[in-house]
A and B are shown apart, each in its own frame.
Chain A
Amino acid sequence: MIAFVSGGARSGKSRHAEGLARQWQAAGGGELVYLATARAADAEMAARIARHRRERGAGWHTLEVPLALDSALAEVGVGNTVLLDCLTLWSSQWLYAGGGREAEGEALLARVIEVARARDIALVVVSNDLNEDIPPTDAETWRYLAFLQRLHRQLAREADRVIEVVAGMALEWKAIDRQPSGERDVETRR
């Protein structure tokens, strides 16, 4: 199962995504893994990370992965539940800190989706909706927005569930009725 959860700033998207991940983990078993893309580059960012960690509560195994999401996911145990927060930050780090190219970034996301499917990982991805603002006035911002939106469209196309969060409420954009991944595991574990 793959879910794509997005919304505006402070819309409650992380909270909703965490709830969904817990729900999937409760149904399917396995560990709760948090793929954190944020690096504490300054005090504000460190406080933000600490707040997110506090709000998430206990029970999460945290992996800090600023760039190599695909190889990090390949290390996650089969049948676990993974929360990736957030794709927006990853995309800017990929282009500007990692020096990555757009096409390679899209290929990396494709591998993430592929690994999640192959390893029966329930994956919840959080991102920010940034494309409904006034159009950018410079070419670089356009390039970034185009890249982020290609990732978002790719994810929305592949995901089983696509959820928009507005003021803490979830709007369902796509819901494919699929057996929770863990339920099939229950059969094999018996």
Chain B
Amino acid sequence: MQSVIGGAYSGRRRLVAERFPRARWHRLVKGEGAEECLAGHAGREVLVVDGIAAWLSAALAEIPDDDALRETWLRLLDGLVAAPCEVVLILDEMGRGIVPMDPAARRLRDHNGWLAQAAVERSRTAWYMRHGLCKQLK
């Protein structure tokens, strides 16, 4: 697996589209797991998985228990790592602002950060995008 992390409108999707012009894109839908991402996907082509923040927001509302939530996104990541094809995961950097007043927003920020760490840890290569420029993290 490979990961690309960056803030809003940092140019992640353009970078991925340029590097993997023939990849198939899958936007994660609420409640999906790795199986749904990989369904009907030929082993040879690259699969780009996008929309993880929205997926996580939805999961947050459904799963009040933090351990259960963690299990859910870990299962998704492990499923993507084990995929027979190359997976490129688009991740969101959202941890560099003021601590949100709203507890739900704080919880999203926490889980998103943990998820990103776990994803990059499981990735062979990882990139950080900032204002359209990228740095290789690993």
> A152 touching B96 by the CB < 8 A rule?
no
Residues B133 and A131 in contact, CB atoms below 8 Å apart: no
Q: Which of A135, A152, A157, A174 contacts B53 (CB 8 A)?
A: A135
Q: A6-B131, A134-B108, A173-B130 are in contact. Are A153 and B9 (CB under 8 A)?
A: yes
- Report how far A145 CA is from B97 CA in the complex, Å: 14
A153 touches B94 (CB 8 A): no
Please tell me if the beta carbons of A133 and B9 are within 8 angstroms of each other in the complex. no
Q: Contacts A134-B109, A152-B131 hold; do A129 and B96 have CB atoms under 8 A apart?
A: yes
Selected contact of A134 from candidates B105, B130, B133, CB within 8 Å: B105
Kindly state whether residue A132 has any CB partner on chain B within 8 Å: yes
A40 vs B29: C-alpha distance when bound (angstroms) = 47
Interfacial residues of chain A within 107-137, with CB under 8 A of chain B in the complex? 129, 131-135
> Which residues on the B side are within 8 Å of A156 (C-beta)?
130-133
Q: How far is the CB of A3 from chain B (nearest CB, A)?
A: 13
Given A149-B8, A149-B9, A153-B9, check contact A132 B97 (CB 8 Å). Answer: yes
Provide the bound-state CA to CA distance between A176 and B106, in Å.
Answer: 40
Interface hits, B1-42 → A, CB 8 Å: 7-11
The distance in angstroms between the C-alpha atoms of A129 and B128, with both chains bound, is 14
* Complex CA–CA separation, A162 to B100 (angstroms): 29
Contact residues, B86-138 vs A (CB, 8 A): 92-98, 100, 105, 108-109, 130-133, 135
- Residue ID in chain A nearest B99 by CB atoms: A134
Determine if A132 and B132 form an interchain contact, defined as CB atoms under 8 angstroms apart. Answer: no
Question: Which residue in B93, B100, B105, B132 is a CB contact (below 8 Å) of A153?
Answer: B132
Please tell me if the beta carbons of A145 and B131 are within 8 angstroms of each other in the complex.
no
Task: Please give the distance in Å from A172's CB to the nearest CB on chain B.
Answer: 10
Return the contact of A131 from the options B10, B109, B135 (Cβ within 8 A).
B10
Q: Would you give the shortest CB distance from B108 to chain A, in whole angstroms?
A: 7
Given A132-B95, A134-B108; A145-B8 close (CB under 8 Å)? yes
The 7 closest A-B pairs by CB, nearest first: A133-B97, A149-B9, A131-B7, A132-B7, A153-B132, A132-B96, A156-B131
Given contacts A146-B8, A146-B9, A156-B131, 16 further A-B contacts (CB under 8 A): A129-B130, A131-B7, A131-B8, A131-B10, A133-B96, A134-B97, A134-B105, A135-B8, A149-B9, A149-B131, A152-B131, A153-B131, A153-B132, A156-B130, A173-B130, A173-B135
